[in-house]
Chain A
Amino acid sequence: MKVLLILPELFLLFGVLLLLNLSVAGVGGAKARMAALLIAIGTVVLTVFCLNQEGTIFFGAYKVDFFSQIIKLILSLALVAVLVIGWELKDIRHQIRPEYYMFMLCSVSGLMMMISSAELLTMFIALELSSYCLYLMVPMRDDRQGLRVQMEAAIKYVIFGVVASGIMLFGMSYLFAMTGSTHFAVMIPALTGMLDNPVVLVGIVMFMCGFFYKLAIFPFHFWVPDVYQGASNETTTFIATLPKIAAAAMLIKISTFAASGPGVVSDTLVTLLIILAVVSMFYGNLSALVQTDLKRMLGFSGIAHAGFILMGVLTLDVFGYAAALYYATGYVVISLACFLVICNVSRTGENVRIEDMSGLYQRAPVAALILAVGLFALAGIPPFVGFMGKFFLLTAALNQGHLALVILAALNAAIAIYYYLSVVRVAYTAEPGSRSVVSLNAATTTLGIVLVLMIIALGVFPGPALDVATVAVRTLL
């Protein structure tokens, strides 16, 4: 049954069409939300059902393997979480909510197809499908108070995105020129013999740029702070989580192009990635130190974490890839936990400053706990997943002899403590003043507790998750 290979994506596309019809029919936000949630849950079920599928369709342009299926499962689970977190969708007008959900699902289906694509143009189209939906979701934020910041954010997002896509296409053209094919299956063996050719290096690096942009690696990070701040809280939740794991997976996939054999290209590529990783970490962490807007701070911290993920990618071996995948997954779970609190503390969808967390412990103990666990996990304190991820990444990188990188990364872990801790401090020790009580609904509370338990479980028993990640990346090599 070849249809099983693409069943989750088909179902999601069906959901997109359904939401399109709902929006044309003019139903309210509540119905569209329910439809979106049901579709998301259905996608999770189908992804689990299709987890062990393997094969290629569409004349080799679309390849389904365990690696792609596990990423799809993470994506669909995260989609459910994003929908629950954005339950009230405070800052999106009622009339356009069906469209909002439609674009969200469409973006996820783009990401899913991108993961499975085994051909350059398929990958490019899938990437653009997911990107263009996001470009549209950012300016959907309500401008009732003359708030124009979302427009600025959207413009920046589009312009940087288009430039990154252009560079990526340029890189793809080089790779095509060298190998004469757009199919990965043909390209990788062909490239193996050319790994001492600088054109291949330029091609691979420019190819990667499109995903540097998605993952927010320096120098493609400029959109991050403004988009995080300008987009509504719920949109930022989406942007900060799903595309990140997909981009990390794609970077792993692309880096296998250079991992197939020794050569000048691999060495230079690794050196270049080391520089990008270190600069991303320092840039992100040092900038985050002085932020007052919580989302903006998490944006900068996301740049630093992208640097950490890159650290696993640049090892070009199974351990490093598995560690990067594990870390990216952990990062998604942690980010969801943090944004869950942000979305709920914000009463009408306005941005949350760090000082707005004052006395959160007294206003909403559960939310404060979720936030504290999330931030400590981001900071890399055991027993949470952030620590184990950093530990595996450092070990994998040191295993390849990148001592300087490991020391600089460890220093960054120490720098980052300060800004995470100052948010926890505000939440736990500052007086609430006149700020009102925050109430979480039952679904959100449950989701928050599940996320906290996942953060702890992934950190205390990383074995199974790491084994799955290892099996998944082995299918790439």
Chain B
Amino acid sequence: MDFLLINQGFPILSTLIFLPLAGALILLIMPGDHACRIWTLFITVLTALISLPLFFMFDRSTHLYQFAEHHSWISAWNINYTLGIDGISLLLVLMTTLIMPLCVLGSWRYIEKRVKEFMICLLLMETAMLGVFMALDFVLFFIFWEAMLIPMYLLIAVWGGPRKTYASIKFFIYTLTGSVMLLVAIIALFLTSEPQTFSIPQLMAGHYSTTFQIWVFLAFFLAFAIKVPMFPFHTWLPAAHVEAPTAGSVILASVLLKMGTYGFLRFCLPITPEATFIFMPYILWLSIIGILYGGFTALAQQDMKKLIAYSSVGHMGFVTLGIFVLNTQGIEGAILQMINHGIVTGALFFCVGMLYERTHSRELALNAGIGRLMPIYVVFLGVFSLASLAFPGTNSFVGEFMILVGAFSHSLLIGAVAIPGAILAAAYMFRMYQRVTWGGTNNPSHNGLADLNAREVLILAPLLLFVFWIGLAPAPFLAVMEVSVAHLLEQVGVAGQTEGMSLARLLLP
């Protein structure tokens, strides 16, 4: 267990996982809708507060898994309850805990029926999502990974829009079908490894034949590519996003999509490095297709949620591009961009949800020209739109810039064809922003439209803070991942290739 820095004191990671679960169980017997809302908010805020010290106590000088916990679980099969976080998962854990209270606040008025059940689903989601990012045992990981489907399915199927049935079933079947082969791959890894183990760090240390790696990689790839979603597997995403309630969309965009890219970083690269090299070119081109396809499709959307959903396909294309160029800038940029996308797209979905609560429509045409009526709202929307298209000074700029630097240092061609994606992002975000803000002032149904209230400002303000914080001073966030990323590249065996500290370093003080 030399890859773990066992946490001797307070079991902080277990607390983070099981506090929401305990909160959900207590919710079962809680009377009254309002009490349920306050209780859930309390639990999520408490979880967020408990998670904050992770950032400050995190040892930035080691790639080992920190705050680790290790208990035997199913001894007959050598399955353990192993938790731990490193520089790759730390920020994702923090983002998850910080975004959940906002989701509760965002559903405060939007969800009116079956409030208790909705909040239970949110808390179960939080447990499962944190578990996915912290688990260091493959069986534990897979259980959290699959268990997440049930509350998410219910979030869409029960509280969703008019086509919720179609969207929820498509989401469930698509993601589950993707992961059955993941299970087979996990079992195959277990049986091949010597000694037989489900421990992820031990599996990383093993060496497998190239043929075996290729099959395992393909099984992993199917599961993670569907979750990301990468280009040919993305069709579940717009349907699920459009029909899900606001909080569901936010969770989906901010956290669920990241699990796919997290899977690539955590499993594909270190466990099957040779296969990664073999498949790298194809995945890079799939990412490019995703970037351009997502951009062009977003350009044509009339529904705001659909527009942002397709923009997610493009943004996540950038993330996979950054991961598979296999150099420091690319991967660091990809991890940072995962966080950025979570913040910005989450915020945009909140914005659309707030507008929908007022006008009961997400059509661009019906929401045109509200800038005069809702000045505070359009300020937020404007900043998040700019952040989404990677405007300098916002967080996405740093991430996308680093990814592009990584791409260019990998191959001039790959970098060059990714650039139009950034331009497309400007085109579709500005189109949306222009329509919503200045699209005309003569819409009679907009009479009496109220601007954001304090609660809604409270939802968006923290996200706005992070947009500028990461945008202007990314150093503290990059610092936590440096050692882990370097170790990851060492595992892939290309650490030597990152010659010349690149332009991305110029951004850092």
Contact = CB atoms under 8 A, between A and B. Distances in A.
Interface string B154-179: 10011000001100110011001100
B428 interface: no
A391 B183 contact: yes
B164 A429 contact: yes
B412 interface: no
A387 B453 CA distance: 46
Interface string A411-436: 10110011001100100110000000
B139 A414 contact: no
Interface in B184-206: 184, 187-188, 190-191
B73 A463 contact: yes
Given A376-B150, A391-B183, A407-B184, A466 B172 contact: no
A425 B157 contact: yes
A413 B157 CA distance: 22
A382 interface: yes
B77 interface: yes
A361 B116 CA distance: 14
Contacts of A414: 173, 176-177, 180
A422 B73 CA distance: 34
Interface in A72-115: none
Interface string B419-446: 0000000000000000000000000000
B280 interface: no
A300 B146 CA distance: 25
Contacts of B144: 382
Nearest to A362: B114
A381 B150 contact: yes
Interface in A386-416: 387, 391-392, 394-395, 398-399, 403, 406-407, 410-411, 413-414
A421 B180 contact: no
Interface residues of A, number: 31
Contacts of B177: 414, 417
A42 B181 CA distance: 46
B77 A392 contact: yes
A417 B172 CA distance: 9
A394 B183 contact: yes
Given A381-B146, A381-B149, A429-B165, A394 B74 contact: no
A307 to B, nearest CB: 16
Interface string A10-45: 000000000000000000000000000000000000
Contacts of B187: 391, 394-395, 398, 406
A470 B75 CA distance: 12
What does DSSP make chain A's interface, helix, strand, loop or mixed? helix
What does DSSP make chain B's interface, helix, strand, loop or mixed? helix
A422 B149 contact: no
B146 A417 contact: no
Nearest to B72: A463
A381 B169 contact: no
Contacts of B165: 425, 429
Contacts of A417: 172-173, 176-177
A475 B76 CA distance: 17
Given A381-B150, A421-B173, A466-B74, A429 B191 contact: no
B147 interface: yes
Interface string A435-477: 0000000000000000000000000001100110010000000
B466 interface: no
A383 B177 CA distance: 17
B55 interface: no
A144 B444 CA distance: 64
A411 B139 CA distance: 19
Contact of A463 (B75, B180, B190): B75
Contacts of A466: 74, 76-77
A410 B154 contact: no
A425 B157 CA distance: 7
Residue among A382, A392, A411 with the highest chain B CB neighbour number at 10 A: A382
Contacts of A418: 169, 173
B35 interface: no
A395 B187 CA distance: 6
A421 B172 contact: yes
A407 B144 CA distance: 22
Given A410-B180, A428-B157, A428-B158, A395 B190 contact: yes
A382 B184 contact: no
A407 B180 CA distance: 9
A421 B183 CA distance: 20
B223 to A, nearest CB: 12
10 contacts: A381-B149, A398-B191, A410-B180, A413-B180, A414-B176, A417-B176, A429-B158, A429-B164, A429-B168, A466-B77
Interface of B: 73-77, 139, 142-144, 146-147, 149-150, 153-154, 157-158, 164-165, 168-169, 172-173, 176-177, 180-181, 183-184, 187-188, 190-191
Ranked 4 nearest A-B pairs via Cβ:
A382-B143, A410-B180, A414-B177, A463-B74
